[in-house]
Amino acid sequence: MQSIQSVGVFSCAKIMGAIYGVLGLLFGPMLFVITLIGALAGDQTHRILAITGGLAAMVFLPVVYGALGFAMGALSAWIYNIAARKLGGIQIEIRDVIAGVH
């Protein structure tokens, strides 16, 4: 059994930022479609606002999700490192796998 004693704060933040940025790329178009559906129920002014808001979500959601993912990834890694020093790291079992043999 091996233990993860420390996590690189910046490396964790980069990965989490990238993951959440991609999630923003997925959720932005979904939110746009929802706003289009909602726009059908409103008058002309509300339609324009809904479509503009939906387009803005497609642009800003990946950026905001990515930035928040980066920040929370850094915070999580920093807290993990403190907890791992006091409580011990996460224990993992690593097994070597030979190519083609499972």
pLDDT 10s digits, 10-64: 999 999 999 999 999 999 999 888 888 888 877 777 788 888 888 888 899 999 9
Q: Which helix (H) or strand (E) holds 2?
A: strand 2-4
Residue 22: Cβ-neighbour burial (10 angstroms; 0-12, 13-18, 19+): middle
Residue 99 has pLDDT above 80, yes or no: no
Q: Is 45 helix (H, G, I), strand (E, B) or coil?
A: helix
Q: Report pLDDT digits (tens) over 85-94.
A: 999 999 988 8
pLDDT given for residue 100 in this prediction: 66
Contact (CB, 8 A) for 90 and 67: no
